[in-house]
Amino acid sequence: MKKLFTLLAAIAITANMQAGNITVKGSDTLVILAQKWAEVYMGEHKDVKIQVTGGGTGTGFAALQNQTTDLCDASRKAKPAEIANCLKAFGKRPTEYKVALDGLSVYVNPENSLKELTLDQVKDIFTGKVKNWKDVGGPDAPITVYSRENSSGTYEFFKEHVLKGSDFAASAQTMPGTAAIVQAVVKDKGAIGYGGAAYGGGSKLLAIKKDEASPAITPTEETVVNGTYPIWRHLFVYLDPAKDKGETAAYLNWIRSDEGQKYTKEVGYYPLPKNLRSN
């Protein structure tokens, strides 16, 4: 009998520990930031265990609807089909939290004399309408376009908001990650690519003009957070509303506090504007 009690107690303790377990899955863009948050938070709260894995925003949503993850990191908004899948799985819309800002920069080779482009010119280059740098005020050289894999949230964001839904040029080279794009841009004189500003090491970040009349703006914390730099997006966390309580809710709250937002800059993203934070 005594043994049975010890066993039960042991089970109770394990169950208790599991209550402090949070699994996070989703966007590869967010994975470094999510790991940073988890690391710091676990350091402060010894009883909480947070497991972070990447795999992509779509993978995160699939896991969310299969209920194999608590939080889903997303670098884009949930698609209607994904919301529908969640509804089919747990009968509720997933709750959405904005957790950080990301500014997307346009990279060119450092030897390229070009300094700025308008949004329309960026669109024309990536859709393949403009094929030579001299048409946008650069040197007389052909343009090689580098893009992300279409599985990337960055790709989708760029397509919807910069290309306004048009297709990328068929000749656009798709690279498996932002770092690979930068690598290629640094090696290729006629190259242009896009990705998070933090990754741009070695390449040249172009200043972007909203239209012909606007000033050219380089992506910095100030210009991204106040919205004057035109290419930026929110990063999200989604979860089943039934799970938005206890440790998970506390963790989400901490992420969106001044304290949690501090870490966004360390890994190359930007903090939420004050009005979107939790405190």
Contact residues for another protein, defined by CB under 8 A: 55-59, 61-62, 65, 79-85, 87-88, 91-93, 142, 144, 149-152, 155-156, 159-160, 164-168, 170-176, 180, 183-184, 187-188
Identity of the residue, 65 or 261, whose beta carbon is nearer to another protein in the bound complex: 65
- What does DSSP assign to residue 135? G
Residue 20 or 55: the one with the smaller Cβ distance to another protein is 55
Smallest distance from another protein to CB 79, Å: 6
How far is Cα 263 from Cα 242, in angstroms, rounded to an integer? 28
Shortest distance in whole angstroms from residue 249 CB to another protein: 22
Distances (CA, A) of 258 to 41, 138, 198: 14, 42, 21
CB of 144 to another protein, least distance (A): 6
Of residues 136 and 163, the one with the C-beta less far from another protein: 163
**Long-range Cβ pairs for the range 8-12 (8 Å, 24+):** none
Which of 118, 30, 108 lies closest to 74 in space, CA to CA? 30
Closest distance between another protein and the C-beta of residue 74, in Å?
11
The distance of closest approach from Cβ of residue 48 to another protein in the complex, given in angstroms and rounded to an integer, is 28
Q: Which is nearer to another protein, 1 or 170 (CB)?
A: 170
Which letter does DSSP use for residue 111 in this model?
T
Amino acid identity of 65? Q
CB 180, min distance to another protein, A:
7
DSSP 246-258: HHHHHHHHHHTSH
Q: Which helix (H) or strand (E) holds 187?
A: helix 178-187
Q: How far is the CB of 156 from another protein (least distance, A)?
A: 6
105 burial type by CB count under 10 A (0-12 exposed, 13-18 middle, 19+ buried): buried
> In the complex, what is the shortest distance from the CB of residue 245 to another protein, in angstroms, rounded to a whole number?
21
Q: Which is closer to another protein, CB of 67 or CB of 150? A: 150
Q: Which is nearer to another protein, 87 or 216 (CB)?
A: 87
Choose between 176 and 201: whose C-beta lies nearer to another protein: 176
Task: Please report, as a single letter, which amino acid is at residue 101.
Answer: L
Task: Pick the closer one to another protein by CB: 190 or 200.
Answer: 190
In angstroms, the CA 186 to CA 136 distance is 20
Q: Tokens representing 183?
A: 């690598």
Q: Cα-flanking dihedrals φ and ψ of residue 30, to 5°?
A: -85, -10
Do 38 and 9 meet the contact criterion of CB atoms below 8 Å apart?
no
Q: Cβ of 275: how many Cβ atoms within 10 Å?
A: 5
